[in-house]
Amino acid sequence: MDWVWWLGAALLLAVVEILSLDLVLIMFAGGAAVAALLAAMGFPLWVQILGFAVASAGLLLALRPWLLRHLRRRVPLVETNVHALVGRTAVVVAEVSDRAGRVKLAGEVWSARTDGEHLLPEGEEVVVMRIDGATAVVSRAAHLHHPHDAPTPGPARPRPTEESP
């Protein structure tokens, strides 16, 4: 009768995987299915547990990375939560140094700091490099186009003239 418990665990893990979509619990479900097969064949509990552990670890280490690679080729990964803030621009609301500061990011005021030696004055646009806990690590937004950074015009092109026939 042990196989029923293992099969129930495999089904439960598969259902919970549908909700999480991490491709982790489904690997444990595969391990539970292997244990159910071993139980149905009459192996003792320690062999069933060993089969569950080996199958789950093998699926996690071999199959999951392969599945993730192929899944990401088909469906782009959409960052959420704080990961979605990386690369966004923010405005300094209190001078930012390598120790402290504040920026307005996505409509909210965040504590901020820089990675290096420079000081970022109030009002400057910055880019979020990463989020450390509840602190945005920012850098000067040098790549943004400001009106005073407009490219200088090149040589003038001659205008076409109308010639009479």
- How far apart CA 91 and CA 103 sit, in angstroms, is 5
Are the C-beta atoms of 41 and 53 separated by less than 8 Å?
A: no
- Clarify whether residues 55 and 90 are in a common domain: no
Say which residues have a Cβ less than 8 Å from residue 151's Cβ, sequence separation at least 6.
Answer: none
Residue 50 lies in a domain: yes
Residue 69 lies in a domain: yes
18-54: pLDDT as tens digits: 888 788 999 999 999 999 999 999 999 999 999 999 9
Write down the mean pLDDT value for the chain.
82
List, in sequence order, the alpha helices (H) in the chain.
2-20, 25-40, 45-58, 64-74
Determine the structural domain holding residue 116 and report its residue range.
82-141
